[in-house]
Amino acid sequence: MRAAFVILSSDEAPLLEVALAATASEGFDGGLVIDNASSDATASVAARFGVERLALERRVPYTEAMNIGLRAVDADFVACLQADTFVTAGYLEACLAPFADGSVAAVAPKLVRTTGVSEADRLDVLDAAGMTFDRRRKNRLVGHGAPGSAFEVAGEVFGVDGAAAVFRRDALEDCAVEGRVFDENLPGWGCDADLAWRMRLLGWRSWYEPAAVVHHIRRYSPSTRGDARPEDRRTQFRNRLLMIAKNDRLSDLRRDLGPLLWYELMALGYAVLVEHELLGGYVEAWGRLPETLRQRRLVQSRRRVARVPFGMQARP
First CA to last CA across the chain, in angstroms?
Answer: 32
Which domain covers residue 167, as residue numbers? 84-316
- Whether 298 maps to a domain, the answer reads yes
Is the residue at 31 inside a domain? no
pLDDT of 219? 76
Residue 169 is assigned to a structural domain of this protein: yes
3-state SS assignment for residue 4: strand
Per-position pLDDT tens, the chain of length 316: 899 999 999 999 999 999 999 999 999 999 999 999 999 999 999 999 999 999 999 999 999 999 999 999 999 999 999 999 999 999 999 999 999 999 999 999 999 999 999 999 999 999 999 999 999 999 999 999 999 999 999 999 999 999 999 999 999 999 999 999 999 999 988 899 999 999 999 999 999 999 999 999 987 656 666 667 888 889 999 999 999 999 999 889 999 999 999 999 999 999 999 999 999 999 999 999 999 999 999 999 999 998 899 988 888 8
Per-residue buried b or exposed e for 293-316, using 16+ beta carbons within 10 Å of the residue's own CB: eebbeebeeeeeeeebebebbbee
pTM here is 0.95
- Closest C-alpha among 172, 2, 164, 171 to residue 77: 2
Domain assignment present for residue 280? The answer is: yes
194 vs 177: CA distance, rounded Å:
12
- C-beta of residue 4 within 8 angstroms of C-beta of residue 29: yes
53 in a domain, yes or no?
Answer: no
Q: What pLDDT was estimated at residue 222?
A: 62
Asked whether residue 38 is domain-assigned, the answer is: no
Is 215 within the bounds of a domain?
Answer: yes
116: in domain: yes
CATH of residue 282: 3.90.550
Do 66 and 182 form a contact (C-beta atoms < 8 A)? yes
β-pairing, 77-82 vs 3-9, is parallel
- At residue 74, the 3 state secondary structure works out as coil
Residue type (1 letter), 126? L
Rounded Cα distance, 79 and 173, in Å: 15
- How many separate domains does the chain show? 1
